[in-house]
Amino acid sequence: MSEQDITAAVPAADESSRVEQVSSTTKRAGLLSGAAGRNLGLVIALVAICAFGVITAGERFASIDNLLTILRLAAVLGVISIGMTFVITGGGIDLSVGSVIGLASVWASTLATQTMAQNSHWIVMVGCALLVGVGAGLVNGVLIAYGKVVAFIATLAMLVAARGLAEIIANRQTQVVKVQAFLDFFRDDFLGIPMLVWIFVVVAVVGWVVLNRTTFGRRTIAVGGNPEAARLAGIKVKRHTMYLYALCGLTAGIGGLMMLGRTTAGSSTNGQFYELDAIAAVVVGGTLLIGGRGTIVGTVLGVLIFTTLTNVFTQNNLSISAQNIAKGVIIVVAVLLQQRIAERSRAGT
């Protein structure tokens, strides 16, 4: 009884209070069974990677400059991973985000867009990229929700098509950004921290609030957890599914802008393979691939783990190939752990 009282007294089911509840009902499952327990595991992994970095690369790794480099690199992946968290929690998948980053970055940096931006305001480029992202997301969403195309296939088609469209628009050339005000904004620092990192922080915080504190988030979890039950409870499952892909497209549009700011050029090759990194970060973070449970904090940690790992490996002059092997191992280990924990908590209840 006292356990029930304790959990009842916790004001909201955020990730930390859920742990208490789960661990109180499934004592055997222990600390790692809850969301915060899982996050703790991710923090330990991140700390271990950092320790490895300090030991092997010393000052080169443990410097403010390098930290900012890591964060700057994490920012683009982080933003699209937030969008991906929503889609996966809602029971879907979006393979097209990498290509949509490319398309958005190209479309926002065409001569026409840049001229328009120069004549009016650089925000035109921002609007263009966001529209491209949301548009591509809506196409995905309509196909999946109303056209009943399997998400894997619909977004795979978008992956190929968006990349192709980006190539046609850019004519396979790199489009250098000449709108100085745009570059000034995205390459600026605020309180000593790069703007790209701020954008990531804002998107992550907004994402956390939306997923955990709003009706949109609750619908996302319901649609991913049991679409039929959600539908029969009166939730507009199709419409919500469409929104989820539009949201993911929006984050890809933001990612495209960030990429433009970071590389100062629009290119049809921007964002290649980002969809895979994003899915990996989300899953490693603890979001269930079958939907119904998602964690923004986990996703952020997953992104940081992958980015820091890349950085440590690069500092040690290890090849991209070696990095990829390590990434693969991490994904498998994380998913195996996730399954064990899920099984244990189910058996314990």
Partner 1 sequence: MVNEDPPLLQMRGIVKQFPGARALDGVDLEIRAGEVHCLLGQNGAGKSTLIKVLAGAHQPTEGEILVDGQPVTITHPVAGLKLGIATMYQELDVVDGLSVAENIYLGHELATGGFSQRRAATANTRALLTRLGHGDMSPHREVGRLSAAGKQIVSMARALSHDARVIVMDEPSAVLDAEEVTNLFRVVRELTASGVAVVYISHRLDEIRQIGDRITVLKDGRTVATGLPVAQTPTAELIKLMTGRNVEFAIPPRDTIAPDAATILKVDGLALRGAFSDVSFEVRAGEVVGLAGLVGSGRTEILETVFGARKATAGTVQVSGKKLRAGSVSDAVTAGIGLCPEERKSQGLILDEPVYRNITLSTFARNANASFLDEGAERAVAREQIQALDVRPSDPDRSARTLSGGNQQKVLLARWLVHGCRVLLLDEPTRGVDVGARAEIYGLIADLAAQGAAVVVVSSDIPEVIGLADRVLVISEGRVVHDGPASGIDEHRVLDLVMEGSAA
Which of the ranges 9-17, 162-170, 250-258, 268-276 carries the binding residues for partner 1, by CB under 8 A? 9-17
Residues contacting residue 181 through CB under 8 Å, at least 6 positions apart: 121, 122
* Site for partner 1, residues 16 to 35, rule: CB under 8 A: 21, 25
Q: Name the token pair of 314.
A: 């690069």
What is the 8-class DSSP label of residue 176? E
Four-point Cα dihedral 204, 206, 207, 212, nearest 10: 120
CB count within 10 Å of CB 102 equals 30
Residue 221 within binding range of partner 1, rule CB under 8 A: yes
Which of the ranges 5-13, 39-47, 136-144, 304-312 carries the binding residues for partner 1, by CB under 8 A? 5-13
Q: Determine whether 158 is exposed, middle or buried from the number of CB atoms within 10 Å of its CB (0-12, 13-18, 19+).
A: buried
Q: Name the token pair of 41.
A: 């595991």
Q: Which of 60, 121, 178, 236 binds partner 1 (CB under 8 A)?
A: 236
Residue 340 within binding range of partner 1, rule CB under 8 A: no
What is the 8-class DSSP label of residue 137? H
What is the 8-class DSSP label of residue 60? G
Residue 292 within binding range of partner 1, rule CB under 8 A: yes
Which of the ranges 163-171, 175-183, 215-223, 326-334 carries the binding residues for partner 1, by CB under 8 A? 215-223
Backbone phi and psi for residue 289, each to the nearest 5 degrees, phi listed first: -65, -25
Let me know: does 287 contact 85? Beta carbons within 8 Å. yes
Residue 226 within binding range of partner 1, rule CB under 8 A: yes
Q: Which of 168, 229, 322, 336 binds partner 1 (CB under 8 A)?
A: 229
Shortest distance in whole angstroms from residue 65 CB to partner 1: 40
Which of the ranges 4-12, 58-66, 94-102, 110-118 carries the binding residues for partner 1, by CB under 8 A? 4-12
Q: Report how far residue 192's alpha carbon sits from residue 76's, in angstroms, rounded to the nearest whole number.
A: 19
Residue 121 within binding range of partner 1, rule CB under 8 A: no
Residue 7 within binding range of partner 1, rule CB under 8 A: yes
Give the three-class secondary structure for 289.
Answer: coil
Residues contacting residue 127 through CB under 8 Å, at least 6 positions apart: none
Q: Which of 59, 65, 192, 234 binds partner 1 (CB under 8 A)?
A: 234
> If you write DSSP's letter for every residue of 272-319 in order, what string do you get?
TTHHHHHHHHHHHHT--TTSS---HHHHHHHHHHHHHHHHHHHHTT--
Q: Which is nearer to partner 1, 83 or 292 (by Cβ)?
A: 292
Per-residue mark of binding to partner 1, 84-113 (x: CB under 8 A) = ------------------------------
Q: Which is nearer to partner 1, 7 or 264 (by Cβ)?
A: 7
Q: Which residue has the tokens 């029969």?
A: 232
Which of the ranges 100-108, 121-129, 133-141, 208-216 carries the binding residues for partner 1, by CB under 8 A? 208-216
Residue 12 within binding range of partner 1, rule CB under 8 A: yes
Q: Which of 70, 134, 166, 230 binds partner 1 (CB under 8 A)?
A: 230
Q: Name the token pair of 333.
A: 């280990």
Q: Which of 172, 187, 213, 340 binds partner 1 (CB under 8 A)?
A: 213
Which residues of this chain interact with partner 1, rule CB under 8 A? 4, 7-8, 11-13, 21, 25, 213-218, 221-222, 225-226, 228-236, 292-293, 346, 349
